[in-house]
Amino acid sequence: MNRRTFVKNTGLAAAGFAILPAAQAFTAPDPVVKLGIIGVGMRGQAHLGNALRRKDVNIVAICDIDDRMLEMANSIIQKSGKPMPKVFKGDVNAWKKLLELKELDGVIIATPWEWHAPMIIGSLEAGIKYVGTEVILGITMQDHWDVVKAAEHHNAQVMMLENVCYRRDVMAVLNMVRQGLFGELIHLQGGYQHDLRNVKFNNGQQPYGGGVEFGEKGFSEARWRTEHSVHRNGDLYPTHGIGPVAEMININRGNRFVSLSSFATKTRGLHEYIVKNGGEQHPNAKVQFKLGDIVTTTISCANGETILLQHDTNLPRPYSLGFRVQGTRGIWMDVNHSLYIEGLSKTNDAWEDANSWLEQYDHPLWKKYGSSAEGAGHGGMDFFVLHAFVESIKRKTATPLDVYDAAAWSAITPLSEKSIELGNQTVEFPDFTSGQWMYRRNTFALNDEY
Ligand SMILES: NC(=O)c1ccc[n+]([C@@H]2O[C@H](COP(=O)([O-])OP(=O)(O)OC[C@H]3O[C@@H](n4cnc5c(N)ncnc54)[C@H](O)[C@@H]3O)[C@@H](O)[C@H]2O)c1
């Protein structure tokens, strides 16, 4: 019996409910969730490490096609002292064999973007009821529809593991939004503003930098992600920016994205980086990149809000997701860690350091699990996203971020590509919920459980 069950039971006994039959009074220990991980590259290894730290998870299988990545995963597992999972490798379809394992309660997919949709659908077809996929759901609009339809058909949960939704300051602001501090929300901003030049290029040996190779000669994300910058122009990575703000305005749960238009700048950053670090004679100096250095997207919502998203990965710049949450009574901006609430802020019309507010409104989940989250990646938010996935499986309930969230957020990419291709035309969002957005209620982070 774990501590929480014990507390619950003593609470019940004290309240006079001790007449329950013994089997019910002593709730079974936490079930152990059996997971497989497809893709144990840099991100898959982070999930692996966090999963191995949990007593309620057994990693029963892993799959990858890169022996170096499998070796790295191996050493993480050995250090943990947990049993070695079954390893599936050898070819790009080895994951299908992993899915034949009967004991799997769920799978985590952390492969390149183009593999997500086929692997999610393959998992659902194999009878897996909980699929946690890394961002983003698929490549094309058809991929997103196919995943939604497959999840509905198999009555299964597909959760996109959007960790930024669980960032401590973001959750505190969500808490403030829900308590009405900002009044009615009017405008939100976010994005992916992250200098990825040493992720898109490396020396084929290390994941970050050291050279200007990509594709077959690159390692980790340089092996696959950079090609997307060669061939595509749009907001290629919208979910870290959109997920948190979508939760604040109840997208798919009383609200929906209606339309967007996107604008792309010229493309200079990646070429300059190659020339500077590899020389003009390097073969990659001839590569023409299609992705604009900064892609700006404006989204309109059914309830009258606008959202401004930026994708900014090719230029020198400090990291910032650029959040701004603004309503009829106040505003928060993460770039200057500041906030202003009319009537409550100390000085009229002046920015106030957000820290004391963020502490005061710390989300109940962080209050409860903050210490467990220490050491998990990205400032602790990686703990929470895995926690939510695992707890949903244990409770056999819907995941708090579901397939409709994943599809709506991910759809921004093909829609922004289309808008740019059409000369910045406004394009309509599909409604993946088929009208249900009007009736659905937000279930994300409503309490301190998961
Ligand atoms: N949420 C976050 O904070 C975060 C951070 C980093 C990456 N990501 C996402 O995680 C995913 C993986 O990114 P990464 O950084 O780990 O990249 P990576 O290149 O380091 O890892 C991808 C792994 O997938 C493996 N793989 C490729 N095809 C495969 C196949 N057919 N079968 C099995 N394995 C296959 C590769 O060999 C590699 O080991 C991407 O969607 C990325 O956007 C998310």
How much distance in Å is there from the Cα of 331 to the middle of ligand 1? Answer: 36
Band (pLDDT 50/70/90 cuts) for residue 14 is very low
pLDDT digits 0-9 by tens, 253-279: 999 999 999 999 999 999 999 999 999
* pLDDT at residue 377, as a whole number: 78
Is residue 74 over pLDDT 60?
Answer: yes
* pLDDT at residue 28, as a whole number: 62
Please state the rounded mean pLDDT for residues 283-297.
98
Please state the rounded mean pLDDT for residues 334-353.
96
Q: Please, what is the average pLDDT of the chain?
A: 94
Is residue 18 over pLDDT 90?
Answer: no
For ligand 1, say whether the CB of 110 is within 6 Å of any of its atoms: yes
For ligand 1, say whether the CB of 376 is within 6 Å of any of its atoms: no
pLDDT digits 0-9 by tens, 123-163: 999 999 999 999 999 999 999 999 999 999 999 999 999 99
One-letter-per-residue 3-state SS of the chain = CCHHHHHHHHHHHHCCCCCCCHHHHCCCCCCCEEEEEECCCHHHHHHHHHHHCCCCEEEEEEECCCHHHHHHHHHHHHHHCCCCCEEECCCCCHHHHHCCCCCCCEEEECCCHHHHHHHHHHHHHCCCCEEEECCCCCCCHHHHHHHHHHHHHCCCEEEECCHHHHCHHHHHHHHHHHCCCCCCEEEEEEEEECCCHHHHCECCCCCCECCCECHHHCCHHHHCHHHHHHHCCCCCCCHHHHHHHHHHCCECCCECEEEEEEEECCCCHHHHHHHHHHCCCCHHHHCCCCCCCEEEEEEEECCCCEEEEEEECCCCCCCECCCEEEECCEEEECCCCEEEECCCCCCCCCCEECHHHHHHCCCHHHHHHHHHHCCCCHHHHHHHHHHHHHHHHHHCCCCCCCHHHHHHHHCHHHHHHHHHHCCCCCEECCCCCCCHHHCCCCCCCCCCCC
How much distance in Å is there from the Cα of 398 to the middle of ligand 1? Answer: 25
For ligand 1, say whether the CB of 118 is within 6 Å of any of its atoms: no
pLDDT digits 0-9 by tens, 188-214: 999 999 999 999 999 999 999 999 999
Please state the rounded mean pLDDT for residues 375-380.
83
Lowest mean pLDDT among 13-17, 282-286, 288-292, 355-359: 13-17
For ligand 1, say whether the CB of 167 is within 6 Å of any of its atoms: no
For ligand 1, say whether the CB of 46 is within 6 Å of any of its atoms: no
Is residue 3 over pLDDT 90?
Answer: no
* pLDDT at residue 437, as a whole number: 98
